[in-house]
Amino acid sequence: MRWLIPAAGLATLTGCNVSSEFLQRMEHQAKYEYYEASDFWADGRAMRTPPVGTVPRERFEKLPELKDPTQRQVALTGRSAGQPVAHLPITVDQNLLTLGQKKYNIVCSQCHGVLGDGNSIVAENMALRLPPSLLDLESKSDGHFYVAINEGYGVMPSFSGELDLRERWAVVAYVRALQTARNTRTDGQQPVPQENR
């Protein structure tokens, strides 16, 4: 009887190892990490480029209002007949603006400033070309902002990898909100005309 107790203890201690052999956890399974090499593909890369023209379904799943293929194409490219579209192709509501605020603060604010005025620590230390104030671009179309995010603009890279379709338009809507906020007076006075700012 006396030897039974240590034996039971030993079984408990080793139990963990024994079961892990049978019950392999996903994090320990063989898999490729980002940028890892692979013998399987001719180019030696594990990361694959999606076939040209393909769009992950979930991009549109978040935008059920876009059903028509032409509408979807406009929403995806931000262009109609090659030109940036005048207005957002999706409905702007509180949820979209909240999403836009979150994503703008994460992805854009470090350069264009939290207020969109181009004031940021990064901007102060940039030598090549400064991130412009987005507040001075009120006359630009909604599509202009989307295209800049989607395709990049001059030295600014594309942020389509960081933001999905809905998030990109959400950021455009939020930039519009920042522009509107700049012109809003809380003292009942008329907004200052652009030329006097």
Residues in contact with ligand HEC by the rule CB under 6 A? 107-108, 110-112, 129, 131-132, 134, 137, 140, 145, 148-149, 153-156, 159, 171, 175
Query: Where does residue 135 rank: exposed (0-12), middle (13-18), buried (19+ CB within 10 A)?
Result: buried
Nearer to ligand HEC, 45 or 140 (CB): 140
**Orientation angle between helical segments 165-183 and 94-103, nearest 10 degrees:** 90
62 C-beta neighbours (distance < 10 Å), count: 13
Nearer to ligand HEC, 52 or 127 (CB): 127
The residue number with the shortest CB distance to ligand HEC is 154
Q: How far is the CB of 11 from ligand HEC (least distance, A)?
A: 57
Buried b (16+ CB within 10 A) or exposed e, 156-186: beebeeebbbbbbbbbbbbbbbbbeebeeee
Nearer to ligand HEC, 33 or 124 (CB): 124
Nearer to ligand HEC, 15 or 152 (CB): 152
